[in-house]
Chain A
């Protein structure tokens, strides 16, 4: 199975900050990586797929990059509605796996 790790696990930031979350895969997954945002009690929301393609309707302050084993999600200017948990997911091979999540909280 492909293991995904994320760093940091927890991030405290202020509105307007630039924030970067890293996801690492235990083996190469090309660009078969997605990012989701999840708020408490809600289903995940797709933000980015194929590592860097922005999902329709997602604000342009979100961006993704990387390939192979190292990926990142960047929020260029954190907004109040962005405080949430973020998960990466690989879809290179079965079983599909998710990272442990990064919780972004208000400083």
Chain B
């Protein structure tokens, strides 16, 4: 079964960092990009960037440049998103998404999301 399984909810204090994982199964992980999208409560979806799961190249949204890092472990078919210097504005559900059967940057495969709560 083609799926993305994300790590569990996190609670962090302001200034801390969080690392979310996304494990792919049912397809060749290194053949596709992995994107990260977040959604703050009641807000629109917000694209954060993507990683080429094959060669590790990354592209970050300017908004998050310098504060976010995407990595991957090809042996574990897992992608990671690390966000540093957290503030309350980073409270959101973080999704990984991949254009597995897509021919451009739209997303036909999504993880279930990881809730990150930033609170003192």
- Could you list which residues of chain A lie within 8 angstroms of chain B, going by C-beta atoms? 32, 34, 36, 42-46, 49-50, 55-56, 87, 89, 91, 94-101
Contacts and interface: CB of A to CB of B under 8 A. Distances in A.
Contacts of A55: 108
Nearest to A95: B61
Contacts of A98: 44-47
Q: What secondary structure prevails in chain B residues at the interface with A?
A: loop
Interface stretch (B12-20, B69-77, B79-87, B98-106): B98-106
Contact of B47 (A43, A45, A50, A95): A95
Contacts of B95: 43-44
B63 A43 contact: no
A44 B110 contact: yes
B112 interface: yes
Interface residues of B, number: 22
A49 B106 contact: yes
B98 to A, nearest CB: 11
Interface of B: 35, 44-47, 59, 61-63, 95, 97, 101-102, 104-108, 110-113
A99 B106 contact: no
Nearest to B110: A43
Contacts of A34: 106-107
Nearest to B96: A43
22 contacts: A34-B107, A36-B45, A43-B95, A44-B45, A44-B95, A44-B110, A46-B107, A46-B108, A49-B104, A49-B106, A55-B108, A89-B45, A91-B105, A91-B106, A95-B47, A95-B61, A96-B35, A96-B47, A98-B44, A98-B45, A98-B47, A101-B44
